[in-house]
Amino acid sequence: MLQNKRTRKGTDAGGFRILLLTIIIILSIAAVFLLSSCGQRGRPGSSVDGLPSTTEDSQKSASELPDEPPVTDENRVMLPEEEESASVEITPADPDDRVGEERHKLVGTADGRTLVMELKQGPVDSGQIALTFDAGASSKPTPELLVVLAQKGVHATFFLTGKWVEQNKQLTREIVSAGHEIGNHTYSHPDLRNLSDDRIRQELGKTEAIIQDVAGVSTKPFFRPPYGGRDARVLQVASDEGYRCIYWTADSWDGFKKGIKADEIEKRVLDRAEPGAIVLMHCGSWPTVDALPRIIDKLRANGYELVKVSDLVGH
């Protein structure tokens, strides 16, 4: 009898140990499973809070980010060369089309009309280069800029905003009296592509009226869109107002790259110099004042004549 009781107690204890071991194993497996599930959440390719995300999507979104933010300054931001589509149906023109010997960009035709051409360069067989200066921000370097041009005997084309002229009336008169040419750079320096036709006309018209009143000259027929922002519609509205868009072939970067040095401005202009080139510089750049004497001397040493836009492309 005692033997049987001991046997049953041993059997019961063994069964309890087996049951306990089984429970521990089940709990261990469940814990491993839960930890594995938590580890997968938040990884590329998993779903977090019900929002699917794949490795491919992560790589794609990263690749779509620019290497660095666009460089801007007080005057201008870099814009793509491609034209934006106009509000009318455009039949593209041959980009190498020419009228006479002028190299230009002809936007195309719309509603049976040939849209105005945009001049980027003068005659390709010309030994001339036009120096142009945009003014829409600081005016402090401008008097010294005028001194350099006078000392070198160079006449240039200045694209002025109406606001700049209002703030620098005497300086505007000095630019004109020195024999330089004035072009329209709008009144408040907006991206014209974002404005209605009427607002574009107002920007151009207000500046024209101010400059006529201050300096007694017209800005027509040349205008330069702020930031270089233009499309077929902008060009057509400006054309209807009596303007031709003057772009550039040599950007000095003095209104694009912050902290630019005079040596870099000089190199950029000289590297891009070619017959009929139009050079873009800014009235508010001290490094440009420093670089300008060397630029003028070296361009002349290379056989170029420095002229106004009107001398280069005609009226």
Beta strand 305-307 with 128-135 is: parallel
Beta strand 278-282 with 128-135 is: parallel
What 3-state DSSP class applies to 106? strand
Q: Which of 134, 231, 251, 254 is catalytic?
A: 134
Q: Which of 104, 180, 189, 282 is catalytic?
A: 282
Determine whether 213 is an active site residue.
Answer: no
How far is C-alpha 116 from the geometric centre of its chain's CA atoms? 23
CB 131 within 8 Å of CB 270: no
CB 130 within 8 Å of CB 157: yes
Burial class (CB in 10 A: 0-12, 13-18, 19+), 141: middle
For the record, the structure tokens of 279 come out as: 């050079």
C-alpha separations of 78 from 28, 50, 58, 165, 256 in Å: 61, 40, 28, 24, 7
Determine whether 134 is an active site residue.
Answer: yes
Q: Closest Cα to residue 182, out of 249, 253, 133, 254? A: 133
* Residues classed as catalytic: 134, 282
